[in-house]
């Protein structure tokens, strides 16, 4: 038996931020990063909160560590807000999720509303039960998974992503694609999760390059912002796979941006998951057949499943090339020596990652090591 439920109310489109006016006199605790304050972007939020009172916690850093979460919990339990608002990219929203969750548990602040406002079009964290927190001493990223982490409200305001630099547009956009593709071939995939995944993938191939090439293309910005959220809904229903399992550990050990790591891995993980052993239909895995459906969806299908999968990989690679993205870890200023040193730990960590459970093909330590070798 399966269930389908959306727990988050999504406010989207231009001027979506006006929804904040409905908070009225409530006490608001805002979780964000220093750039949002320095750039003045936070003013686009606080101008709607004039009637109530608010406190800004702007200590968020990339790959938020446990110590930061502990500090945030202390401030929330002292302030006792009516609502927690997360403003920023995946790091801000993930940190806010953990802070909000543990504040409810430790400070017994059960009535807090949780509102997520993403400023990048990538993680989909505004609608998921996932958060990633880093243990800096061990160099390990821990995915937290609980329905208690799902935001009550998500606000998708495209104007907030208009000024995102092209390189970040590329990284986050490829994160969206990876989310949707992994959800699509997940062992937990259903007709419902597939519907969201297919739409997200279609939007990425239509609008990511436009968003990358023109910061003034507000239509492309809005549609990629929607795609990020839709992909988030998909993987929240179906979970992820090997791509993210490896990426979490590369991020923890080598500190390569998450979306960039996913992009580097994606062609190789698709090839691995497809596992086409011959040229007849009986040689095609279920994952390969589904990848072939995506190739048809985006207009690059071939005469066979094998050729369709190859065409899909080729189309992804071409898109990465147009966005000047690296295809190897060495192109991210990671030396061969460092990669070799951390290779075993990355592979072992990937095997323990929760995302690997729903990968369509069971991976061994040697399989993962081979993929790491290919991207080195």
Rounded distance between C-alpha atoms, residue 123 and residue 117, angstroms: 12
Which residues, at least 6 apart from 90, have a Cβ–Cβ distance to it below 8 Å?
Answer: 118, 120, 122, 123, 125, 132, 258
Q: Please, what are the domains in the chain?
A: 9-161 (3.40.50.1970), 166-375 (1.20.1090.10)
Name residues whose C-beta falls within 8 Å of residue 144's C-beta, 6 or more positions apart in sequence.
97, 98, 101, 130, 131, 132, 133
Q: Are 90 and 258 a contacting pair, CB within 8 Å?
A: yes
d(C-alpha 97, C-alpha 151), whole Å:
8
pLDDT at position 104: 87
CA-based torsion, 311, 312, 317, 321: positive or negative: positive
The four Cα atoms 12, 84, 169, 316 give a dihedral, to 10 degrees, of -80
DSSP string over 338-350: HHHHHHHHHHHHH
Task: With a cut of 90, say whether residue 262 has pLDDT above it.
Answer: yes
Do 120 and 89 meet the contact criterion of CB atoms below 8 Å apart? yes
Q: How far apart are CA 303 and CA 262, in angstroms?
A: 28
Q: What's the mean pLDDT when you consider all of the chain?
A: 93
| pLDDT range class, residue 224, cuts 50, 70, 90 | very high
Structure confidence by residue, pLDDT tens digits, 76-118: 999 999 999 999 998 999 999 999 988 988 877 777 899 999 9
Helix or strand run (H / E) with residue 204: helix 191-213
Q: Using the structure block, give the residue that is written with the tokens 């995939």.
A: 189
Distance in angstroms (rounded) separating the CA atoms of residues 165 and 160: 12
Indicate the pLDDT class of residue 145, thresholds 50, 70 and 90.
confident
Q: Beta strand pairing status for 9-12 and 153-156?
A: parallel
Q: Is the pLDDT of residue 4 over 90?
A: no
Torsion over CA: 123, 129, 368, 284 (sign):
negative
Exposure pattern of 98-135 as b/e (b: 16+ CB <10 Å)? bbbbbbbeebebeebbbbbbbbbbbbbbbbbbbbbbbe
Cα–Cα distance, 128 to 114 (Å, whole number): 12
Interacting residues of 368 by C-beta distance below 8 A, sequence separation 6+: 242, 246, 346, 347, 350, 351
pLDDT in tens, 166-180: 999 999 999 999 999
Closest to 148 measured CA to CA, from 216, 189, 97, 182: 97
Reading the block at residue 13, the tokens are 């489109």
Q: How confident is the model at residue 294 (pLDDT cuts 50, 70, 90)?
A: very high
What is the 3-state composition of the chain as percent helix, strand, coil, each rounded to the nearest 5?
60, 10, 30
The string of DSSP letters for 248-303 reads HHHHHHH---HHHHHHHHHHHHHHHHH---SSSGGG--HHHHHHHHHHHHTT---S
pLDDT of 53 reads 87
pTM, to two decimals: 0.93
């Amino acid at each position: 038996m399966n269930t389908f439920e959306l727990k988050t109310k999504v406010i989207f489109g231009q001027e979506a931020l006006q929804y904040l006016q409905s908070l009225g006199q409530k006490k608001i605790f805002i979780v964000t990063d220093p750039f949002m304050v320095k750039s003045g972007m936070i003013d686009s939020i606080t101008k709607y909160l004039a009637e109530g009172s608010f406190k800004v916690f702007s200590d968020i850093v990339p790959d938020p560590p446990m110590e930061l979460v502990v500090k945030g919990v202390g401030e929330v339990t002292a302030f006792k807000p009516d609502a927690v608002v997360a403003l920023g990219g995946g790091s801000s929203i993930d940190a806010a999720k953990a802070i909000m969750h543990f504040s409810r548990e430790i400070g017994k602040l059960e009535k807090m509303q949780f509102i997520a406002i993403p400023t990048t079009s990538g993680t989909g964290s505004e609608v998921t039960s996932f958060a990633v927190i880093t243990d800096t001493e061990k160099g390990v990223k821990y995915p937290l998974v609980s329905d208690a982490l799902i935001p009550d409200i998500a606000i998708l305001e495209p104007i907030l992503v208009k000024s995102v630099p092209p390189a970040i547009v590329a990284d986050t956009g490829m994160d969206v694609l990876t989310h949707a593709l992994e959800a699509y071939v997940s062992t937990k995939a259903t007709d419902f999760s597939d519907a969201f995944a297919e739409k997200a993938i279609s939007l990425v191939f239509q609008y990511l390059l436009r968003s990358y090439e023109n910061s003034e293309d507000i239509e492309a910005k809005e549609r990629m912002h929607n795609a990020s959220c839709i992909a988030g809904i998909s993987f929240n229903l179906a979970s992820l796979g090997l791509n993210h399992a490896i990426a979490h550990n590369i991020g923890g050990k080598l500190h390569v941006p998450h979306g960039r790591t996913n992009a580097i891995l994606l062609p190789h993980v698709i090839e691995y998951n497809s596992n086409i052993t011959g040229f007849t239909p009986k040689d095609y895995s279920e994952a390969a057949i589904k990848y072939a459906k995506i190739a048809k969806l985006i207009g690059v299908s071939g005469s066979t499943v094998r050729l369709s999968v190859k065409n899909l990989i080729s189309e992804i690679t071409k898109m990465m090339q147009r966005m000047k993205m690296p295809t190897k870890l060495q192109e991210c200023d990671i030396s061969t020596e460092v990669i070799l040193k951390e290779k075993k730990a990355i592979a072992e960590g990937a095997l323990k990652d929760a995302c690997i459970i729903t990968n369509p093909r069971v991976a061994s330590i040697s399989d993962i090591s081979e993929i790491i070798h290919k991207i080195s």
